[in-house]
A and B are shown apart, each in its own frame.
Chain A
Amino acid sequence: MSILEFIKQPWPWYVAGPLIGMTVPILLLIGNKAFGISSSLRHICAACIPAKIPFFQYDWKKEAWNLFFVAGIFSGGFIAASLLVNPSTIVLNPKLITELSGYGITDYHAMVPAQLFNWSSLFTLRGLIMMVGGGFLVGFGTRYAGGCTSGHAIMGISTLQWPSLVATCCFMAGGFIMANFILPYILLLS
């Protein structure tokens, strides 16, 4: 097996997790920056739609590194999907496949299920709730919580911040409630 073939396989958690964790010391060492991604959304608001709101009245240019970081994440997604793409479909728990097929989700090729997230379904009730509503909850919730999985779950817990542990438990609880008790009804909509 060539190196490229080896890289193209899906990476197991014990390779990916430590690499993601390494972002914490790398950002600290190269620029004394605290790992966090959701702040980028705030900087975009401060740069584009400040509207005299005190929360967006700060010098976002000083935080521009964070925008370079997310531009990198976008580019990394592009590189991985165009050059390092896994030739086979994702291996999932059969229980999930059975459940999702009940909602007509049968295509497992992409990271984002094309049958749920696509331009023509954007204006269906299900599409609006999932794409527009879901995005709103992500943006509103992370800022309300003061961070997301990177800032709280990884950076926050790594630096032993107990408020971050509380936030992370709530992230998980919210996700558990949504995925098991609410999302099934949303998926039934058309």
Chain B
Amino acid sequence: MKNNLKYLLVGIAFGIVFVKAEVISWFRIQEMFRLQSFHMFGVIGSAIAVGMLSVWLIKKFNIKTINGETITFTPKTFNKGQIYGGLIFGFGWAITGACPGPLFAQIGTGATVISITLISAIGGTWVYGRFKDKLPH
């Protein structure tokens, strides 16, 4: 519990950035998918650039965690789920104007009805788990 509080703090900072940069705005997501604004592309692109640079630095200088552990990376393997699931997620992203992180932040801003969207997303995850073996991967 105590050990996990630091993740709560990182989450709080992250949620504030989400709201202040309007990343959780349904309108901004519509602008992005209609290619009417550079804003979201700039956010995602610069986030990836900073992430990539920091991972490169961690690997290059073999930087350890604050507890002295070696940082590990798990390689991802390709399966067709990344295509089918990716498209399905994209549909949902454009309808709701939110990916999983923003859903939590949107509820926090007072849009209580989004809790229904979150419950439905949890339901979608459950249905995937239930029928995983029957889906093409």
List A residues at the B interface (Cβ < 8 Å). Answer: 7, 10-35, 37-38, 40-42, 44-45, 49, 51, 53, 55-56, 64-66, 68-81, 84, 86, 90, 92-93, 95-96, 99-100, 108, 110-114, 116-119, 122, 129-150, 152-164, 166-180, 182-183, 186
**Given contact pairs A69-B11, A77-B105, A156-B76, A138 touches B93 in the complex (Cβ within 8 A):** yes
The answer to whether A75 and B21 have CB atoms under 8 Å apart is no
User: Chain A nearest CB: distance from B64 CB in Å?
Assistant: 8
Residue B92 contacts which of A77, A80, A134, A170 (CB distance < 8 angstroms)? A134
Q: Which residues of B contact A155 (CB under 8 A)?
A: 51
The answer to whether B74 and A135 have CB atoms under 8 Å apart is no
Contacting A at CB under 8 A, from B65-81, are 65-67, 69, 71-79, 81
The answer to whether A96 and B36 have CB atoms under 8 Å apart is yes
**Given contact pairs A10-B22, A79-B15, A137 touches B71 in the complex (Cβ within 8 A):** no
Chain A interface, DSSP helix/strand/loop, else mixed? helix
Q: Which residues of A contact B11 (CB under 8 A)?
A: 68-76
Complex alpha-carbon distance, A129 and B94, angstroms: 12
**Given contact pairs A31-B65, A53-B130, A90 touches B118 in the complex (Cβ within 8 A):** no
User: Chain B nearest CB: distance from A80 CB in Å?
Assistant: 4
Q: Which residues of B contact A134 (CB under 8 A)?
A: 92, 95-96, 117, 120
Residue A117 contacts which of B33, B49, B113 (CB distance < 8 angstroms)? B113
**Given contact pairs A74-B15, A139-B124, A131 touches B94 in the complex (Cβ within 8 A):** no
The answer to whether A174 and B86 have CB atoms under 8 Å apart is yes
Contacting A at CB under 8 A, from B89-137, are 89-101, 103-114, 116-130, 132, 135
Q: Which residues of A contact B82 (CB under 8 A)?
A: 145-146, 152, 163-164, 166-167, 170
User: Chain A nearest CB: distance from B108 CB in Å?
Assistant: 3
The answer to whether A137 and B122 have CB atoms under 8 Å apart is no
The answer to whether A90 and B27 have CB atoms under 8 Å apart is yes
The answer to whether A178 and B9 have CB atoms under 8 Å apart is no
**Given contact pairs A77-B18, A79-B12, A111-B25, A45 touches B89 in the complex (Cβ within 8 A):** no
Q: Which residues of B contact A168 (CB under 8 A)?
A: 86
Residue A153 contacts which of B28, B44, B135 (CB distance < 8 angstroms)? B44
User: Chain B nearest CB: distance from A118 CB in Å?
Assistant: 6
The answer to whether A137 and B88 have CB atoms under 8 Å apart is yes
